[in-house]
Amino acid sequence: MMIQGLYAITPSGLEENDLLSKTEVLLKEGIKLIQYRDKILDKKTFQEKARALLKLTKKYEAKLLINDHVEICLEISADGFHLGLEDYSSEANSELLKKNKDFISNNLICGLSCKWNKELVVNPPENEIKWTYLAVGSFYSSNTKSGVPETNENLKREFLSYTDKPLVAIGGINKKNIKEVKNLGYSCFALSEALFKNPKHVLNEYKKL
């Protein structure tokens, strides 16, 4: 799977119908990578919604990644997961990664949030699994990603030389600023609010940039 183009991250707190209908619009538009992220749900509800989303992404031959919950990713047979360093280091996830490392390495897309941590990008923790891509940011201020946006253009560009893995740009990216990010050399852009607020015709708008 090529990690490039627009990568849609679901905003927290969407009702199931809203979540599914907006995601379907994005899938119809041609988006191939969806990350299910919801920081406020209990695990059972999260899993139910994740199953419904997986059914939808399969219909459009897209990939669904689960944020944080490796266990749910494995239980519902999603296409992969995305973790922050804290989630990766948690006892529950560490055990699951250890136990399923061969399956994960051979079958799943694995993403790690690195913020603007150079050390982490240069040397991500790979004692159990290999990361498919690394996410860096925030690029701009955003409701989804806490953390201070990086304003130094040269530093943002430099990060691309720290690793051979695909780097996903994240944090406050929208159609006003995506061109700047593209011009720095990034080719995969994670967007949340910018896509889900008004998902119709979204791909055409971004293709023009």
Question: For 157-201, what is each residue's pLDDT tens digit?
Answer: 999 999 999 999 999 999 999 999 999 999 999 999 999 999 999
Condensed to tens digits (0 to 9), the pLDDT of residues 124-147 reads 999 999 999 999 999 999 876 667
**The pLDDT of residue 207 is above 90:** no
Percent of the chain with pLDDT over 70: 98
Tally Cβ neighbours within 10 Å of residue 147.
Answer: 14
Q: What is the dihedral of CA 156, 160, 163, 164, to 10 degrees?
A: 160
Q: Is pTM, for the whole model, over 0.85?
A: yes
Tally Cβ neighbours within 10 Å of residue 76.
Answer: 18
Provide the angle, in degrees to the nearest 10, between the axes of the packed helices 16-29 and 43-59.
Answer: 30
Looking at residue 67, the DSSP 8-state letter turns out to be E
